[in-house]
Amino acid sequence: MSRSRKAFSARALTVYALLYMLFLYAPVILLPLFAFNDATIVSFPLKGFTTKWFDVLWTTEALHGAVRNSMIVAVSTALLSTVLGACAARASSRYRFPGKRPVMGFIMLPLVLPEIIVAVALLVLLMQLGMSLSLWTVILGHVLICTPFSIAILSSAFQGLDTSLEEASFDLGETRWGTFYRVILPLVMPGVISSLLICFTISLDEFIIAFFLTGTDVTLPVYIWSQLRFPTKLPSVMALGTILLALSVVLLILAEWFRRRSARKQGLEASAAGGFM
């Protein structure tokens, strides 16, 4: 009796899990469907297969500008946040010093702050300083929100380091920098790459901060936002979204792969819960 009830609840949970996954994937499945759909209206029923919406993308100058801007912003953000994040993660996992917890808590704060607050705050500061908005101001904001993610990823990489390796390197006559370059960096390198990829992905998709802080040079999400108002542009926006989705998935799989390699290098088991989230 109890066993059959247990089996029943297990099956009910499985069904629920599958339905939930359908809910999660519903919008994502539609994206490629409409991208290849031969109709100017984004709605069912589907008309036929076409790749013309992708061709439109190749000839849209404004889009190319937005892609270029987004690349500049995302690459700079990834590099800067990973450098800041690596220093902070190393400091918090290796050293003990007064005030560590509150300072770390403050650096991690953007994780829970609504993005509009971050955006508005930076905007007010820039207005007061009389700085004009540009891609640099977007980068400033993105580094702020990406650094906590970088710290989260790199903390686990640094925590797994065996301090005796470091001591051995000192005993063998390496300097601090030499130890860092030849012992520590190679060991945490996969974590660094994973952090770079995640920060790049977050920055590439970030809209709210970019919307407030962008000047005349728009980033890709801001461009997409402006296109959503024009019904005729929608199918090509779907095509663009499909490309972005494919790109993000590839980047994420790469990031995950590097993270696991880093864990394996340090002889840890890649835990299911760790990683980029």
Partner 1 sequence: MGVTLDKEARQGLTLLSPAALYALLMLAAPLAMVVTFSFWTQNYLDIDTTPTLDNYREAWSKPIYQVLMFRSLRISLTVTVVTVLLAFPIAYYISFHVKQRKALWLFLITVPFWTSYLLRVFLWKVILGFNGVLNTALMQVGLIDEPLTFILYNANAVVLTLAHAWAPFAILPIFVALEKIDRSLLEAAEDLGDGPVRQFFRVTLPLAMPGVIAATLIVLIPTVGDFITPRLVGGTDGLMIANMIQIQFGKANNAPLGAALAISSMVIVASISLLIYFAGKKFGGKVE
CB of 180 to partner 1, least distance (A): 11
Residue 133's closest CA among 73, 191, 185, 84? Answer: 73
Q: Select 58 or 95, whichever has its Cβ closest to partner 1.
A: 95
Q: How far is the CB of 72 from partner 1 (least distance, A)?
A: 18
- Rg (the chain; Cα; Å): 23
Helix, strand or coil for residue 219?
A: coil
CB closer to partner 1, 114 vs 215: 114
Structure tokens, 175: 């300097």
Q: How far is CA 263 from CA 87, 131, 194, 258, in A?
A: 19, 43, 12, 9
Pick between residue 72 and residue 91 the one whose CB is nearest to partner 1.
91
The minimum distance between CB 111 and partner 1, in angstroms, equals: 8
227 vs 266, which CB is nearer to partner 1? Answer: 227
Q: Indicate the residue among 200 and 266 with the shorter CB distance to partner 1.
A: 200
User: Considering the complex, what minimum distance in angstroms separates the CB of residue 172 from partner 1?
Assistant: 20
Q: Which is nearer to partner 1, 60 or 248 (CB)?
A: 248
Give me 76's structure tokens. Answer: 């700079």
Shortest spacing between CB 182 and partner 1, in angstroms: 19
Residue whose CB is less far from partner 1, 37 or 266 = 37
Shortest Cβ 141–partner 1 spacing (Å): 8
The answer to whether residues 182 and 148 touch, using CB atoms and an 8 Å cutoff, is: no
d(CA 222, CA 228): 10
CA–CA separation, 207 vs 244, rounded Å? Answer: 14
Question: Both tokens of residue 75?
Answer: 């690459």
Q: Is 34 exposed, middle or buried (0-12, 13-18, 19+ CB in 10 A)?
A: buried
CB of 137 to partner 1, least distance (A): 10
Of the candidates 130, 145, 119, 125, which has an alpha carbon nearest to the alpha carbon of residue 214? 119
CA 133 from chain centre, in angstroms, equals: 23
